[in-house]
Structures are given as structure tokens and as C-alpha cells.
């Protein structure tokens, strides 16, 4: 298992919810600043670090931080080993207070592309909030044993990255469908 999980977050909602969530992310610190991230989103006052058991219980990973902004309501978040499910659910609970129809979409992969996945938090067809996740462990990088100057390396790498994007999108769409059908994991608001 790789150490770093890349999580591409999209907040789907009104301008107001995107702006408010963007303000939180902009205040959440930067590279490797888990303490500031947690204090910003959870209203805590940790100093000098956050205990791993608290992080696993409340965030879902032993560290988390903002890698960079991508676009309005769209962020690159790094976490340790897993996508931070508990944080995505917590973020939804913050956002749904502003926009009752907000959706949290996450596409993710670890350094070795095992897994790639999609995570969604939204309301089902009856208006009940729930989450779902789908993962794919079948991605194999065809350039893993190649040197970057090898013939066909660039083409193979480009095709592989397109395949990774397609797999993450497929997983996210599956998670969307699972929640919408009423088969997602319910959450309490």
C-alpha cells in the first residue's frame, strides 16, 4: 500500500456553498499541515499535532492536507493510505447547512493506482443523505518497468493516465447511482 492518496474533490452546489467551502479550504493550511486543516474544519484547537486515533475516527486517515486549489469548489487533497471517508461525510454535513442539495464528489488514487476510486455523498431519490464508494484494484501501469526515454513510453503513459481518469469516473458514477437508488450508506445530519 502506498502512503499518499490523491483526492480530487468537487463540491457540486450553489455559488454560496462553493464560496464558503473554498474559504474554509483556503484557511486550512498547506503542505503537511494536518493540524491547521483539522482545526479549520472541525473547530478544534489542537497544537503541535493531532493524535492518530482521533484522526482515524474523525477524518479517516492519519494525516490530511490541502495540496492545491484546482478551480472553484474543486480541490486536490492529500491523505495517508485511504481516502478520508469520515472527512467527506463531515464536509457534506457542513455544506448541506448552506445548500440542501449539495453533493460531494471525490475521485482518488494512491501512488501505485491500487486503488483508484470514487466517493459520493448526496441525497438519494427520496431525499435521504447517504454515501457510497467504489474502488478498482485492476489498474496496472504499463510504464512501471520502463525508462522514460524508452520508445513508446510517452504514448503508453498518456493512455494509462486516460485509463485511470476513466476508471475513477466510472467508480464515481457507480457511487452516484448507488446513492440515488437508495442503496447508499445512510448518514445522520
Q: Copy the grid coordinates of residue 26.
A: 483556503
Stated pTM of the model: 0.95
- Please, where are the H alpha helices in the chain? 15-27, 34-42, 52-58, 85-95, 153-180
Confidence class for position 15, pLDDT limits 50, 70, 90: very high
Query: Per residue in 118-168, pLDDT tens?
Result: 999 999 999 999 999 999 999 999 999 999 899 999 999 999 999 999 999
Query: Per residue in 78-131, pLDDT tens?
Result: 999 999 999 999 999 999 999 999 999 999 999 999 999 999 999 999 999 999
Backbone angles phi, psi at 20, to 5 degrees: -65, -40
Amino acid at each position: 500500500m502506498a502512503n499518499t492518496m490523491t483526492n480530487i474533490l468537487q463540491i457540486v452546489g450553489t455559488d454560496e456553498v462553493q464560496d464558503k467551502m473554498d474559504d474554509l479550504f483556503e484557511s486550512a493550511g498547506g503542505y503537511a499541515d494536518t493540524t491547521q486543516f483539522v482545526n479549520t474544519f472541525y473547530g478544534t484547537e489542537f497544537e503541535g499535532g493531532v493524535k492518530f486515533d482521533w484522526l482515524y475516527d474523525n477524518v479517516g486517515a492519519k494525516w490530511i492536507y490541502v495540496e492545491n486549489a484546482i478551480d472553484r469548489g474543486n480541490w486536490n487533497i492529500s491523505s495517508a493510505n485511504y481516502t478520508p471517508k469520515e472527512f467527506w461525510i463531515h464536509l457534506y454535513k457542513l455544506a448541506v447547512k448552506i445548500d440542501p442539495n449539495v453533493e460531494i464528489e471525490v475521485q482518488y488514487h494512491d501512488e501505485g493506482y491500487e486503488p483508484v476510486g470514487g466517493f459520493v455523498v448526496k441525497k438519494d431519490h427520496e431525499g435521504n443523505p447517504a454515501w457510497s464508494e467504489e474502488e478498482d484494484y485492476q489498474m496496472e501501469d504499463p510504464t512501471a518497468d520502463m525508462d522514460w526515454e524508452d520508445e513508446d513510453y510517452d504514448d503508453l503513459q498518456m493512455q494509462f493516465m486516460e485509463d485511470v481518469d476513466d476508471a475513477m469516473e466510472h467508480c464515481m458514477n457507480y457511487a452516484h447511482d448507488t446513492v440515488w437508488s437508495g442503496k447508499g450508506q445512510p448518514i445522520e445530519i
